[in-house]
Structure 1
Amino acid sequence: MKHLSLLLALALGLVTAVSAGPTVIECWFVEDADGGRLAKKPAALLLRQGPGRIPPRPDLDPKRYLRVHDPTGTLQAAFRRYPRSAPTPHCEMSHYIPLPASVNWVKGLTPEQSCPRALDGTWFMVSMSSPVLSLSSLLQSQTEPQPDPGLITMATAVLTVITHNPTTRIQLGQDALLDLSFAYMPSTPEATTPLAPGPPPFGLEWRHQHLGEGHLLLAATPGLRGQMPAAQDGAVAFAAWDDDESWGPWTGNGTLWLPAVKPSQEGAYQATIYLPYLQGQVTLELAVQKSPKVSLMPSPLVWAAPGEAPPELVCLVSHFYPSEGLEVEWELRGGPEGSFQKAKGQSWLSALHHHLDGSVSLSGHLQPSPVTTAQHGARYACRVHHPSLPALGRSAEVTLEVAGLSGPSLEDGIGLFLSAFLLLGLFKALGWAAAYLSTSKESKKKAQ
C-alpha cells in the first residue's frame, strides 16, 4: 500500500510538473541600431525558479535575462494552460518609456503634467504570440539589491494584456466574441491615480484594420466621465474590472462582441488598454467563412449510349465565403472492377455570382468523354474543397446508365410482383362489388 501511495504521489508530481508550463521563455531583444535599422539580440524570461540558485545563462547579457515577478499570476496561468503540442510562442522584448496617452478621449487618466516618481526606473515591453495566445506585458525593473548581482535582472509584471483566442473563425452572419482580459498591479500604491483605494479608471480601445484601411471601432473609459466616440458596426465591449480589492492586484475584461458578422468585418483587431502612463496592446485576427452547398445536375441518372458522351454535368457550388481557395474536382467512381479515377473530359468554372449577404456562388461544368459498356453503373462525382470544409471536402454524385444494359433488378421484380398482386386484388374486389350490386337489383325487382 505504501508503494502504491508513493507511485501515486510521484505520478501526480510528474503531472504537475508537466502542466506547470515552461520555466523559461526565449525572446529577442529588439532595439534601434545605426542607419535606422533594428538590432535583435537573444534574451530570456525566467518565469519560475526551482529550489537553489538562479539557473545560469552565460550566453546572455544579464540586462537581457529577466527574472519575472508576476503578482497577478496572469503570466503563470497563461503558461500553465499552454498546450504541450502548441508551437513555442514568438517573444520580443524592447525598452519602454511611460508616457501619457496620445488620444484625446483618455486624457482624463493623466490630469497631472508629469509622470509620478513611482514609475521611474527601467521598463521593458514584452510581446508574445502563438496560435493559442497573444499577450503584451509591461515589466518594471526592481531597484532593490539583486540576490545574485551580475547574473540576472529582477523585474515585476505591472500590466499584462492577453487573449487566448488570437485567431477567431466565425460563420458568416453569426455573432463573434473577441476574447480580451488584462491584469494590473502597481509597483507601489503611489503609482495609482485615484485618491480612494480600489481599481483605477482605465481606457479600452478597439480598432479594426482590413485591406489597408483602419478605423476606431469602439472606445470606453470605465470610471471616467467624458464624451466617447460612437461605436461602429454595433460593437459592444464588456469593459470592467472583475474585482475591487483595495490595493490590487486587479483583473479586468475587455471582450468585444460583434453581432451578425459580415465579410467586411474580417481582418485585424487591435485592442489597447490605457492606464495612467501605461499602455498594453494585442492584435487579434477575425476570419469570416461560410461552407458551400454542393449539388450535381442532371440527377439522379445520366444516360448515354456506348461510344457516346453523356450530357454535360453541372456542379452547383452555392453560398460560400471566401471566394479564394475553392477547388472543384471531377471523379469517376465504381467503373471497371470498381476503380476510382479522375473523370476524363473538358471541365471549366463559371464566373462568381455575388449575394446580398456577401457570400458567392459558382458552377463547375464537365463535358465527359464517350463512355464504354464497362462503365455502366459507375458514378460521376464532383468534389469541392474550400477552407471552411474538412480536408476531404464535400461531394455530390450521379449514376451513369449505359443504354441497352439496364435490365430489371431484384427490387424491380419485387415491385412488379407486389403491383400485380395489388391489381389482382383490386380486380377481384371490383368483381365482387359488381356481383353484389347486380344481385341487389334483381331482389328489388322480384319484391315489386
Structure 2
Amino acid sequence: MKPLSLLLSVVALGLASTVSAGPAVIECWFVEDAGRGQLSKKPAALLLRQGPGSPPPRPDLEPELYLKVHDPAGALLAAFRQYPRDAPAPRCEMSHYIPLPASPDWVSGLTPEQRCPRALDGKWLMVSMSSPVLSLSSFLQPQSEPQLEPALITMATAVLTVITHTPAPRIRLGQDALLDLSFAYVPPTSKAAISLAPGPPPFGLEWRRQHLGKGHLLLAATPGLSGQVPAAREGAVAFAAWDDDEPWGPWTGNGSFWLPAVQPFQEGTYLATVHLPYLQGQVAMDLAVQKSPKVSLTPAPLVWAAPGEAPPELLCLVSHFYPSEGLEVEWELRGGPQGRFQKAEGQSWHSALSHHADGSVSLSAHLQLPPVTTEQHGARYACRVHHPSLPALGRRSEITLQVAGLSGPSLEDGVGLFLSAFLLLGLIKALGWAAAHLAASRDSTQKVTVLLPHLSLLVVSPPPTPHSRARPQAWWASQGLGIHTDLSNPATKNILHLLPWV
C-alpha cells in the first residue's frame, strides 16, 4: 500500500501544480514610435510554458513577436504560479529597449567605465505587465532569428525581472505600509558571467513618490557600493539585499519598502526602480489611504410623534473617515404602509466637512420627515452610508418610529420607571432618617442637661445582689425620654439621694 499511496501523492501534487501554474500564454501589445507623435500597436504573445509537443501555432502573430521565454531565475513562472483564476488577465505591453547607464549620481559606481559591454549587444525588449494582483517589468534578450519549428517562434531570455504583489495597496489611516518588491537577475550570456567577479553584483534601489504632479525621492540604497546616498525621508526603510550568493547566478533579491504611520499626504504613485549596470527595472504601485466612517443616528432609540405631526429631525453623523470623496448618504424606510423597503420621503441636506487633526473628516446628514400617520407606527428609518473603504452594502444605523397613542409602555419602560421610583423613595427615606437622627441627637443633649431635675421614676434592672460583681445600672424615664447611666459613678449616687423614690 505504501508504493500506491506514494504514487497517488505524486499524481495529486502534479495535478495541483498544473492547476496553480497560472496562464501559459500572456497576450501583449507591441508598441513603437510611428513618427509625428503617433504610436503603432501590434499583437504579441509570451509563451511562458508549454505542454508536451511543439508550441501551439500562432499565424496571427509575426514570428519576432511570438516569444518563447526562457526564465533561468524562475521569476516569471513564480509570479503567475498562484495567479487567481477569477482575476482578469494582466495588461501587457512590449517595446524596444536600449541599455543605458543609470542617470542618478549616487549609482554612478555601477558603470565606472561608461562603456556598454559587448555582452549587451543586440536587440532588447522591455515587457511591462499590470493587474490587480501583480505588477512587473522584465528585460528580454531575444535571439536574432526565429526558430524553425512547426510554429515559427522566437526564443528570448529573461535577464532582469522586477515584481510587486502589492500593485494597489489600501492602507488604513495611521497604520504602517509595507510595499512588496522582489527582483531576479541572470547574466545575459555565459561569457558575461565569466568576465564578472563571482557572486551577485552590486545594485541600486530607489523608491520615489509622485502625487499631484510632484515627485519626491524617499529612499536610495546601494548594497555592495561605496558612496554617498541621499538620506531617507519620512522614516522610510527598505530591505535591500540579494537573497542568495551563487557564484554565477541566477540571483534573486528583495527591495520591499516600509513606511510608518501613513498619513493622507503620503498617498500617490510609488515607483520602485532596481538599477543594474545599463539595466533599470521599474514597477509602479498606487497607494491609497483610507479610513472607514462611523455612523450614528439620533434621536435614538425611538422617535415619538402624534398623528398628523412631524417627528423630530433625524441627524445621521458620519464621523472620522477618509478620503472625503466618494461618500454617499441614503435615507431608507422599512415598514410603514407598504411594509417593505423604500426610499424615505422628506427634506434632506448635508453639513460642511469638519477636519480633524489626523487628516480624517466628518459631516452630518439631516432629514426632516413629513407628518406621520397611524399606518407608520413601527416603521424603521435608516441612514445608509457608502464609502470606498466600506463593503458594497455600506454601513447603516436605524431607529424605530412610534406614533403616540397606539402602544402602551413596553416592559423595558416599566422596569425603568420602577427602578427610578425605587431609587427616589430610598433617597427620600435616607434624607428623612438623617434629619430625624440629627434632631434626636440635639434634643437628647438638651434634656440631659435641663430636664434632669424633673426626673420622677428610677428603675434599677437587674436588681443588684450581694455577690454580684456586675456594676449596677439604672434607667431614668421622664417625658418619654430614656437615659442610661451608671450607678457606680459617685456623682450619679449623689444625685439619686436627692431624688424622690416611687
TM-score (structure 1 length as normaliser): 0.89
Alpha-carbon distance in 1 for matches of 2:263, 2:145: 53
Alpha-carbon distance in 1 for matches of 2:346, 2:423: 47
Q: Given residue 256 of structure 1, which amino acid in structure 2 is its aligned partner?
A: F
Alpha-carbon distance in 2 for matches of 1:226, 1:37: 42
Secondary structure of 1:254's aligned partner: strand
1:16 to 1:348, Cα distance in 2 relative to 1, 3 A: same
Task: Name structure 1 gaps, 5 residues minimum.
Answer: 427-441
Alpha-carbon distance in 2 for matches of 1:104, 1:421: 82
Alpha-carbon distance in 1 for matches of 2:14, 2:241: 37
Equivalence for 1:36:
37
Per the TM alignment, residue 425 of structure 1 is displaced from its structure 2 partner at its CA by 12
Equivalence for 1:309:
310
Secondary structure of 2:17's aligned partner: helix
Alpha-carbon distance in 1 for matches of 2:178, 2:194: 31
Q: Does 1:299 align with 2:296?
A: no
Deviations 1:317-339, CA, capped at 9 Å, x for gaps:
11100101111111223324743
Per the TM alignment, residue 126 of structure 1 is displaced from its structure 2 partner at its CA by 0.7
Equivalence for 1:158:
159
Alpha-carbon distance in 1 for matches of 2:286, 2:323: 15
Equivalence for 1:81:
82
Deviations 1:396-433, CA, capped at 9 Å, x for gaps:
2223232233413345557778999999999xxxxxxx
Equivalence for 2:27:
26
Superposition map of 1:237-252 within 5 A: 237-252=238-253
Superposition map of 1:45-444 within 5 A: 45-142=46-143, 146=147, 148=149, 151-188=152-189, 190-191=191-192, 196-336=197-337, 338-412=339-413
Q: Given residue 309 of structure 1, which amino acid in structure 2 is its aligned partner?
A: A
Per the TM alignment, residue 303 of structure 1 is displaced from its structure 2 partner at its CA by 2.3
Alpha-carbon distance in 1 for matches of 2:183, 2:426: 81
Alpha-carbon distance in 1 for matches of 2:422, 2:286: 67
Say if 1:217 and 1:233, in contact at 8 Å, map to a contact too.
yes
Alpha-carbon distance in 1 for matches of 2:151, 2:7: 41
Equivalence for 1:431:
none
Alpha-carbon distance in 2 for matches of 1:31, 1:445: 122
Secondary structure of 2:310's aligned partner: coil
Alpha-carbon distance in 2 for matches of 1:107, 1:6: 55
Say if 2:126 and 2:137, in contact at 8 Å, map to a contact too.
yes
Q: Given residue 29 of structure 2, which amino acid in structure 1 is its aligned partner?
A: W
Per the TM alignment, residue 201 of structure 1 is displaced from its structure 2 partner at its CA by 0.5
Alpha-carbon distance in 1 for matches of 2:79, 2:236: 27
Alpha-carbon distance in 2 for matches of 1:263, 1:418: 50
Secondary structure of 1:58's aligned partner: coil
1:11 to 1:200, Cα distance in 2 relative to 1, 3 A: closer
TM-score (structure 2 length as normaliser): 0.80
Alpha-carbon distance in 2 for matches of 1:53, 1:149: 7
Equivalence for 1:433:
none
Q: Given residue 232 of structure 1, which amino acid in structure 2 is its aligned partner?
A: R
1:130 to 1:213, Cα distance in 2 relative to 1, 3 A: same
Per the TM alignment, residue 381 of structure 1 is displaced from its structure 2 partner at its CA by 1.8
Secondary structure of 2:109's aligned partner: helix
Q: Given residue 278 of structure 1, which amino acid in structure 2 is its aligned partner?
A: L
Higher-RCO chain (CA-CA 8 Å, sequence separation at least 6): 1
Per the TM alignment, residue 117 of structure 1 is displaced from its structure 2 partner at its CA by 0.8
1:402 to 1:91, Cα distance in 2 relative to 1, 3 A: same
Say if 2:307 and 2:372, in contact at 8 Å, map to a contact too.
yes
Q: Given residue 376 of structure 1, which amino acid in structure 2 is its aligned partner?
A: H
Deviations 1:109-167, CA, capped at 9 Å, x for gaps:
00012111111111111111111010000011236994639821111100000011101
Alpha-carbon distance in 2 for matches of 1:319, 1:282: 33
Q: Given residue 324 of structure 1, which amino acid in structure 2 is its aligned partner?
A: E
Q: Does 1:17 align with 2:4?
A: no
Task: Name structure 2 gaps, 5 residues minimum.
Answer: 428-458, 462-474, 478-483, 486-502
1:336 to 1:247, Cα distance in 2 relative to 1, 3 A: same
Say if 2:57 and 2:151, in contact at 8 Å, map to a contact too.
no
1:244 to 1:11, Cα distance in 2 relative to 1, 3 A: closer
Deviations 1:364-416, CA, capped at 9 Å, x for gaps:
01111101122223232211111111112112222323223341334555777
- Between 1:65-74 and 1:34-43, the stretch displaced more is 34-43
Alpha-carbon distance in 1 for matches of 2:320, 2:394: 15
Per the TM alignment, residue 51 of structure 1 is displaced from its structure 2 partner at its CA by 2.5
Bigger radius of gyration: 2
Secondary structure of 1:239's aligned partner: strand
Secondary structure of 1:167's aligned partner: coil
Q: Identity of counterpart residues, as a percentage?
A: 79
Alpha-carbon distance in 2 for matches of 1:355, 1:422: 42
1:75 to 1:173, Cα distance in 2 relative to 1, 3 A: same
Say if 1:27 and 1:93, in contact at 8 Å, map to a contact too.
yes
Secondary structure of 2:16's aligned partner: helix
Q: Given residue 39 of structure 1, which amino acid in structure 2 is its aligned partner?
A: S
